[in-house]
């Protein structure tokens, strides 16, 4: 179904925060979008299919992951409210997708055909600039994730995840977070326990210092 006026305003707000665009042009763009609802664990994209749609998440969240020959899952990224999804690589590649995108909870999106989005962007300078900024942001995100795996410890990567997604840490199954961090669920449990102990010790020390100072 076509998106509502509220969702159209939401689309404009999200895109305008990336790069300034005329509101009247966004009205035209919104005509390409439609609403889509995913139930928990329902797929937005299955590996082997052709990726055709790009989506903006209104509520909920999804994970993008890969499967190896043994059937093991490896989470590449999470996308939540205000964020885009659609496997940019597969959308550009226009072959059978290598990624899966699955809802982590009941999720509402507004989606549009990627080829129609590209045609729309080609006809306007403002949209070409927006497309460039989006592509740059995706590259920076990919480069940052590669750096994190090389330079940061597993605990540092988990702390960074908590900082980026503070409201989602307890809503996502822990094994998904572990996969995203590149560690086992057992290792994640140990990290969480270690952080709890450090936090408890810090609180105790602060209490003792305050008591002494008074």
The domain ranges of the chain are: 5-145, 152-214
What kind and span of H or E run contains 104?
none
Average pLDDT of the residues in 108-136: 87
In whole angstroms, how far apart are CA 205 and each of 90, 126, 143, 213?
A: 51, 54, 38, 12
pLDDT at 207: 47
Rounded to whole angstroms, the Cα distance separating 205 from 128 reads: 54
pLDDT at 54: 94
Average pLDDT of the residues in 91-95: 89
Q: What is the architecture of the domain spanning 5-145?
A: Sandwich (2.60)
pLDDT category at 200 given cuts 50, 70, 90 is low
For residues 125 and 86, which has the higher predicted lDDT (pLDDT)?
86
Rounded to whole angstroms, the Cα distance separating 95 from 50 reads: 6
Write out the two tokens for 1: 């179904």
- pLDDT beyond 80 at 199: no
pLDDT category at 213 given cuts 50, 70, 90 is low
Strand partners, 70: none
pTM attached to this predicted model: 0.86
pLDDT category at 115 given cuts 50, 70, 90 is very high
For residues 147 and 71, which has the higher predicted lDDT (pLDDT)?
147
């Amino acid at each position: 179904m076509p998106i509502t006026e509220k969702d159209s305003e939401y689309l404009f707000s999200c895109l305008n925060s990336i790069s300034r665009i005329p509101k009247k042009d966004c009205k035209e763009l919104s005509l390409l979008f439609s609403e889509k609802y995913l139930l928990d664990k329902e797929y937005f994209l299955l590996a082997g299919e052709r990726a055709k749609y790009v989506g903006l998440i209104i509520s909920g969240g999804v994970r993008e992951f890969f499967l190896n020959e043994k059937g093991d899952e490896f989470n590449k990224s999470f996308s939540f409210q205000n964020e885009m999804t659609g496997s940019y690589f597969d959308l550009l590649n226009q072959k059978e997708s290598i990624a899966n995108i699955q809802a982590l909870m009941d999720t509402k999106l507004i989606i549009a055909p990627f080829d129609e989005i590209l045609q729309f962007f080609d006809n306007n300078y403002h949209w070409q600039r927006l497309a460039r900024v989006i592509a740059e942001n995706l590259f920076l995100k990919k480069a940052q994730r590669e750096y994190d795996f090389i330079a940061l410890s597993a605990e540092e990567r988990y702390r960074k995840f908590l900082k980026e997604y503070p409201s989602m840490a307890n809503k996502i199954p822990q094994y998904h977070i572990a996969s995203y961090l590149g560690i086992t669920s057992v290792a994640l449990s140990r990290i969480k326990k270690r952080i709890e102990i450090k936090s408890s010790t810090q609180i105790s020390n602060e209490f003792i210092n305050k008591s002494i100072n008074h």
